[in-house]
Amino acid sequence: MTHALMLLQQCAYARVLCEFHRRRAPRGGSEGLVPTTADELVDSVRRLKACDQRWEGMRRMLGADDLARVRVARALYLQSMRRSAPARLGPWSDCCGVDCMPPSHLLEWVSYDLECMELADLEASMGPEEAALYACAMDRPT
């Protein structure tokens, strides 16, 4: 299970890098962020595809019960990341334009957005058993 969770996190980070580089892509004459090079964008897409392929291979090897536990554990991790968002994002607002945002902060915003979307997808696709496991785990004191 630990290997599957690590692989999911690698895939998530690869997704973040792709989106980060996409948002930093050159914009005709735009000031601010140093634009992503074509090589950086291509490398991030290649990395994401490789991660997705490794996850698909792992997913096919997992039994239904193991996959449910992995999905619930991932959702719990994403919940903890959501709770840490105020500390990670600080006083910045996503109303600020991308062009004036420091790269490290843009990376955090992209991470936060993708974590929220992944969590919503996981929660929406949980079967009854997964939802019950998830609810029980959410009710446990931390």
How many C-beta atoms surround the C-beta of residue 122 within 10 A?
A: 18
- Residue 40's pLDDT is 83
pTM for the structure as a whole = 0.83
Reported as half-sphere exposure (CB side, CA atoms, 13 A), residue 72 has a value of 18
Sequence-ordered list of residues with C-beta below 8 angstroms from that of 82, at least 6 positions apart, any chain = 112, 115, 116, 119
| Average pLDDT of adjacent 10-residue blocks, the chain of 142 residues | 94 94 64 67 92 96 93 95 86 63 83 95 94 89 62
DSSP H helices in 25-127: 38-61, 64-83, 85-89, 103-125
Exposure string over 41-64, b if 16+ CB within 10 A, otherwise e: beebeebbeebeeeeeeeeeeeee
Single-letter amino acid code for the residue at 100: C
- Residue 116's pLDDT is 95
- Residue 30's pLDDT is 47
DSSP 25: S
- Residue 22's pLDDT is 85
- Residue 50's pLDDT is 96
Single-letter amino acid code for the residue at 75: A
Reported as half-sphere exposure (CB side, CA atoms, 13 A), residue 131 has a value of 8
Domain ranges of the chain: 2-139
